[in-house]
Amino acid sequence: MAFLGGAWTPNIVWYLREGPRRFNELRGDIGGVSAKMLSARLQRLRHDGIVERTVMPTSPPTVEYELTELGRELLPVVDAMVQVGPRLKARRQKTLQSHPAAAPADAA
């Protein structure tokens, strides 16, 4: 769980599933993540062996990120999260409609 514990990690793994992406492409795909946070998460995922960074010999240099073999092993886990997410969200909304006073502080 430490590999997927970061708030943005499942999103990064999900969007890298189809192949290499440049930093700004990935940031646009994910949406809502700051450049600083994305950079920090990518650095951590590189350190953990989940993501590989490749610098292309172009002018200016092009940098791409892609999943390693170990990173691709996480895809079934992230896929399962994507599949169950809408059901959990629907259940949460139904509960909040039935019992609005029981809503947690982060329910908004």
What was the pLDDT predicted at 46?
96
| Residue 18 DSSP code | T
**Inside any domain, residue 2:** no
**Inside any domain, residue 25:** yes
**Inside any domain, residue 1:** no
**Inside any domain, residue 21:** yes
Residue ranges making up the domain that contains 44: 9-93
Residue ranges of alpha helices (H) inside 48-74 are 69-72
Number of domain units in the chain: 1
What was the pLDDT predicted at 13?
94
Instruction: Please name the residue that has the structure tokens 């989940």.
Output: 50
In this predicted structure, the answer to whether residue 28 has a pLDDT above a threshold of 90 is yes
**Inside any domain, residue 100:** no
Contact 11, 30 (CB under 8 A): yes
In this predicted structure, the answer to whether residue 89 has a pLDDT above a threshold of 80 is no
What was the pLDDT predicted at 104?
65
In this predicted structure, the answer to whether residue 103 has a pLDDT above a threshold of 80 is no
Q: Kindly report the CATH number assigned to the domain that includes residue 64.
A: 1.10.10.10
Asked which of 20-34, 41-55, 93-107 is least confident by mean pLDDT, the reply is 93-107
| CA dist., res. 95 & res. 38, Å (int) | 33
Average pLDDT over residues 58-68: 94
Global pTM exceeds 0.85:
no
In this predicted structure, the answer to whether residue 52 has a pLDDT above a threshold of 90 is yes
**Inside any domain, residue 99:** no
